[in-house]
Structure 1
Amino acid sequence: MRIDLGEWQVAGNDSPPASGMDRPLAIEARGLVKRFDGFVAVDGVDLSVPEGAIYGILGPNGAGKTTTLRMLLGIIEPDAGLRRILGAERPHDVAHAIGYLPEERGLYPAMKAVEAIAFVGALRGLPLAEGRRRARRLLEEHGLGYAADRQIRQLSKGMAQQVQILGTLVHEPRLVIFDEPFSGLDALNQGKLERMIRALAENGTTVIFSTHVIAHAERLCDEVAIIAGGKVPFAGSVDVARDRIRPQVRLETRAQHGPWRAALPADARHEGAFWSFALPESGAEPLLRALIEGDAGILSLSIERAGLHDAFVAIAGEAAARALEEDKPEEMRR
């Protein structure tokens, strides 16, 4: 008999997950609204991002992610609602402490890589000489030292994007906001960026990023906001989002019939040699007891928590999930 509980823990299952809300907030937004020519792009968005968190804004293209980030940064003003960023009600008052990578990438093609990084830092108040020194160090640390004096036009698209990411970080911000940072990066450089984001958080930097690729959010984020149609139907920890769906049971038995069958939900699906169904609300122990006492002859039993993709479907709906899937690069589609 093989029993695999996966991430499911029978003991202590009801204990609430630790919440980032115990920490001070780096970003707080309430009721943000933005209209463009009568079209409501963002409709009453609430966000609370704890200091030091990795926070994802997850949704398909056109859901309102970029507009929300721009309102938080003060690039555009909300038509309604309040926001506070690093304790300031006016984002421009703390601009020196923020790093921002926009969705639209843009560097001066004639600039050398080291100068481009220093220039972006200077826009946030970092002296150019110090910016150049830090730029060379960052390029070396990230395996791009050989490209320091090359013009941006001489770099590959991926290398140029890495240079712009380093420019976002050169002034050592307390808060970093990335808009679709993984777009256009190959798998190797996506992995590098994930490691960079984790390192930033470990050093106390708050990182918020938007994405339409669930895998990045599931691997990286402490908390997420799911956005669809300009609204946020869910904001909170990844674990809480996943717990919106009961864990799934996959059961293989030696017996085909018997009193144990009464322990299975009415909607249990029989697929070949296996039964599949949602874990009953009574939990794993009563199920196991009924199967054993009913002589089911358990050959294998696994209990798996839902993934963030399934949670997204349950929270945002099938249409938003289809749009999310269509936005992904071909090689990443399920």
Structure 2
Amino acid sequence: MNDPLIIDGLHKRYGDLIALQDMTFQVAPGELFGFVGSNGAGKSTTMRIILGVLAADAGRVTLGDRPIDLRTRREIGYMPEERGLYPKMKVGDQLVFLAKLHGLSTSAAEDSMRHWTARLGIDQRVGDDVADLSLGNQQRVQLAAALIHDPRVLVLDEPFSGLDPVAVDVMSDVLKEKAAEGIPVIFSSHQLDLVQRLCDRVGIVSRGQMRALGRVDDLRARDGVTLEVAGPDVTTRWADGLPGVLGADYDIERRTAALRIDPDQVDDQTILATALRAGPVHRFARSTPSLTELFREVVA
């Protein structure tokens, strides 16, 4: 069983700039964790501290109860946001070289290189210089470099950047497969619809602090669920005072009522029966805010 990745109370300051303040969360084995925030929010700083590229002013990072040292660092697959590849080196040679740096034998490194280049659809480019590849294919090589040594943790900074939809699907499948193997996977992305679709949990970071943390569905529903009812005469304000209705926004022109409800306290059938007494119902549907809408609210 793999260990959880634990980030505990990280602080980082650059002069007067506070880059991180009490950054605390963990990524469980087998979990896909989305780490999202605006540019400069502290995501890359956190990831670099996880890898030991940067030192925190306070706090710690552990794999289970083991601190991150040279040995544990070799168990992490890291994909930086900036290209970390040698542009004038052949794709295959580069991946074999990186695998050997992580302790693989030459034959094991070559086997791993062939496996991951085929899995990521770049097996026809192993003899090309990285500089001759498209940005999307360079990104695939970058992911292969993070996976080449069979890591026990994946830390990926903007892995979907520059990918076309087919490559996004390939990348998504690989991350889900690694999580299914019991590996903790953390990745940052500005593609929040993708994070919402892929991730078990998400952390929203702003100004170096964790502003929201939890399961995606729980965070989306934390301020209530919206129930839209169209048709009944809204001038009667028919939903006011109903149990579990936290608020109602009536649109007279469209004859709709957007009800903010507590899903654990509300009775849909009571609401529907009340609405029908005010007129025919043409639409009756629940919705929750998207992760993008939640992100805007939290960051604002």
Q: Distance in 2 between matches of 1:141 and 1:159?
A: 13
Find the aligned partners of 1:311 and 1:253 in 2 and give their Cα distance: 28
Distance 1:212 1:142, change over 3 A: closer
* Partner of residue 153 from structure 2, selected from 143, 151, 175: 175
1:279 aligns with 2:273: no
251-260 or 146-155, which deviates more: 251-260
Compared CA separation, residues 28 and 280, structure 1 to 2 (3 A)? closer
1:85 and 1:91 in contact (8 A); partners too: no
Partner of residue 273, structure 2: 289
Q: Answer yes or no: is the 8 Å Cα contact 1:112–1:148 preserved in 2.
A: yes
Contact 2:109 2:148 in 1 (8 A): yes
Which residue is 2:137 aligned to? Answer: 159
1:232-271 mapped onto 2 (5 Å cutoff): 232-255=210-233, 260=238, 262=240, 263=242, 267-270=248-251, 271=253
Deviations 1:125-165 (A, max 9, x none): 22233212221222223322211212222222211221121
Is residue 2:29 matched to residue 1:46? Answer: no
Unaligned runs of 5+ in 2: none
**1:256–1:47 distance in 2 versus 1, CA, 3 Å:** closer
Indicate the larger mover: 50-59 or 196-205: 196-205
**2:66 is paired with a residue of what secondary structure?**
coil
**In the alignment, is the contact (CA less than 8 A) between 2:233 and 2:255 conserved in 1?**
no
Query: Which amino acid is 1:278 matched to?
Result: R
Aligned position for 1:65: 43
**Distance in 2 between the 1:261 and 1:223 partners?**
34
Once the 2 structures are TM-superposed, how far is the Cα of residue 244 of structure 1 from its aligned partner?
A: 1.4
Q: Is the 8 A contact 1:214 1:308 kept in 2?
A: yes
Measured on the aligned residues, the alpha-carbon RMSD in Å equals 2.2
* TM superposition shift of 1:97: 1.3
Give the aligned partner of residue 209 of structure 1.
187
Residues 26-175 of structure 1 aligned to structure 2 (within 5 Å): 26-175=4-153
1:299 and 1:222 map into 2 onto residues whose CA distance is 35
Q: Compute the displacement of 1:305 (Å).
A: 2.0
Q: Is the 8 A contact 1:95 1:124 kept in 2?
A: no
Q: TM-score, normalised by structure 2?
A: 0.90
Across the two proteins, how many residue pairs are aligned to each other? 294
Distance 1:194 1:133 in 2: 23
Q: Structure 1: any 5+ residue segments left out of the alignment?
A: 1-22, 319-334
Q: Shift of the alpha carbon at 1:185?
A: 1.7
In the TM superposition, what is the alpha-carbon distance from 1:114 to its structure 2 partner? 0.9
* Structure 1 residues 297 and 42: alpha-carbon distance in aligned structure 2, compared to 1, 3 A threshold: same
Shifted more, 102-111 versus 64-73: the winner is 102-111
Write the letter of the residue equivalent to 1:201.
Answer: A
**Amino acid across the alignment from 1:87:** D
**What is the CA deviation profile of residues 159-200 of structure 1, one whole-angstrom value per residue up to 9, with x for unaligned ones?**
122112111101111111101111122222122211111111
One-letter amino acid of the structure 1 residue matched with residue 257 of structure 2: W
Evaluate the alpha carbon distance shift between residue 254 and residue 39 of structure 1 in structure 2; reply closer, same or farther with a 3 A threshold. Answer: closer
> Do the aligned residues in 2 keep the contact of 1:84 with 1:91 (CA within 8 Å)?
no
User: Residues 97 and 256 (structure 1 numbering): CA distance in 2 closer, same or farther, change over 3 Å?
Assistant: closer
Cα offset for 1:24?
Answer: 7.8
Displacement after TM superposition at 1:60 (Å) = 0.7
TM-score using structure 1 length: 0.81
Matched with 2:177 is 199
